[in-house]
Chain A
Amino acid sequence: MFYLQQIGAYFLMIKEIFNRMTKSSVLRKLIIKEIDDLVINSLGIVAFISFFIGAVVAIQTALNLTSPIIPRELIGFASRQSVILEFAPTFISVIMAGKVGSFITSSIGTMRVTEQIDALEVMGINALNYLVFPKIIAMLLYPFLIAIAMFLGILGGYIAGVYGGFVSSEEFMTGLREDFIPFHLIYSFLKTFIFAFLLATIPSFHGFYMKGGALEVGKASTTSFVWTTVAIIIVNYLITQILLS
């Protein structure tokens, strides 16, 4: 019953976010700040993780190719498929649930604890629109982050595969181009957009409606990470089932 109430409250919050818009001149500044906080500041960690995950995928594939009848091109093919379909959009989103999600929950939660949200409401400002809407707009740039993750993931696979002596450059590139289905990119970016929305709104929900003090801000951040991850995994399953099966 509690979880149903929470889900209901979450959807009511979504409706309220798009009510009573904040002045556009103020919103513009907030969106730029959120792009910096949520997207630009995540570039480093996303690049680091993507590169090494791609590298590990290539090495693992190579080490498991024990049969001589399986072509070495499979290393490039497996790197591309796993990075584009899952590692970049889903795995990075789970990482972002920890990085961006806990940042959003703790910053909004701290504003709740220190009465800054009350101050906005007393002024007659729609605090949800003021705080969450710019995050949703900023996260529209999240797919660019995932595109970079895809590129670096495959680059990591290439470097680990070729310079590790597992596959030649030609074989890797052939595998990379083999049986490419453009719809996979559409599928991948479509789910990235949905994950971006979840990453902006679920942590905001946990921060905005938290009660208590500093300790509860920490607890809300943890809860928000868990629920954002659960939502990403479930949505990932549903979209894959609908679009690819």
Chain B
Amino acid sequence: MIRVENLHKGFGGTEILKGISTTFEKGKTNLIIGTSGSGKTVFLKCLLGLFSPEEGEIIYGDTDYDDLDESEKRDLKEQMGMVFQGSALFDSMTVAENVRFPLEMFTKKSKKEMNLRVSEVLERVNLENADGKLPSEISGGMQKRVAIARAIVTNPKYLFCDEPNSGLDPKTSIVIDNLIKEITEEFNMTTIINTHDMNSVMEIGEKIVFLKQGYLEWEGDKTQIFKTENKAVTDFVYSSNLFKKVREAQLKGL
């Protein structure tokens, strides 16, 4: 579980996050949504410890991040996995080397144990036969799956995903969404996904946090989001023609 209390963050005198308080549950897929410029990425980077907030607290389990010294912060970061928007795979390494990288850096496993773990994880993301390929030789969807495999190879407690469906076709997006949801349940992780993809909201939105101009405008789940009367949320949800037509049909009672 991650608890956020009154989080403030700004750059060069401009406040980006304006007092966000929320809780991200363990074993659930938590989504941060909002329009571009709403502060989603800054919020996610604060949660990852890449940005230091000016005010407020981020509590991982029972541990306040600000109370940790540098070494404890590093230990905490080893419990985090991250799937970046562009996958951020190391392009000079093969798929297997990318996945093995966190094991080499943080564990004392033998080469044989590491290879076994890499095979297990690649099998889990359905990439058994791609281990010798370079990231440039595989598709965007496969790159995302490698990124997920790399993120979970050390059994992290927290999984962060920044727009995991960006640049993917709708079918592959659903595969990635479902994979993240299954892994979250299987490993009982606290998963936080930054997205503006409404298909993801419908598929895996167990807890949804809606940001607007740096404020937490609304929070709920995937059922509640389609019933809310909050104008900012409905404007966002029904911005696509498909959802707009569904909404009109709903209002007409069809």
Contacts and interface: CB of A to CB of B under 8 A. Distances in A.
Interface of A: 20, 22-23, 25-26, 110, 114-116, 118-119, 121-125
Interface of B: 48-50, 73-78, 80, 82, 84-86, 88-91, 102, 104-106, 160
Nearest to B48: A122
Given A119-B82, A125-B105, 4 more contacts: A26-B105, A110-B91, A118-B84, A123-B105
Contact of A22 (B49, B85, B105): B105
A118 B160 CA distance: 13
10 contacts: A26-B104, A114-B88, A114-B91, A116-B91, A122-B160, A123-B77, A123-B82, A124-B78, A124-B106, A125-B105
A128 to B, nearest CB: 14
B177 to A, nearest CB: 21
Contacts of A20: 74
Given A115-B86, A118-B84, A119-B84, A25 B104 contact: yes
Nearest to A110: B91
A30 B194 CA distance: 33
Contacts of B91: 110, 114, 116
Contact of B102 (A25, A116, A123): A123
Contacts, number: 50
Contacts of A22: 105
- Nearest 6 A/B pairs, CB to CB: A124-B77, A115-B88, A124-B74, A119-B88, A122-B82, A115-B84
A116 B90 contact: yes
Most chain B CB inside 10 Å of its own CB: which residue of A25, A110, A114, A123: A123
B50 A121 contact: yes
A20 B77 CA distance: 14
A27 to B, nearest CB: 11
A171 to B, nearest CB: 52
Given A121-B50, A122-B77, A116 B104 contact: no
Given A121-B50, A123-B78, A116 B88 contact: yes
A122 B85 contact: no
A60 B130 CA distance: 59
Contacts of A122: 48-50, 77, 80, 82, 160
A119 B161 CA distance: 12
B86 A23 contact: no
A78 to B, nearest CB: 45
A93 B96 CA distance: 37
A123 B76 CA distance: 9
B50 A118 contact: yes
Nearest to A29: B104
Most chain A CB inside 10 Å of its own CB: which residue of B49, B75, B105, B106: B105
A23 B88 contact: no
Nearest to A126: B74
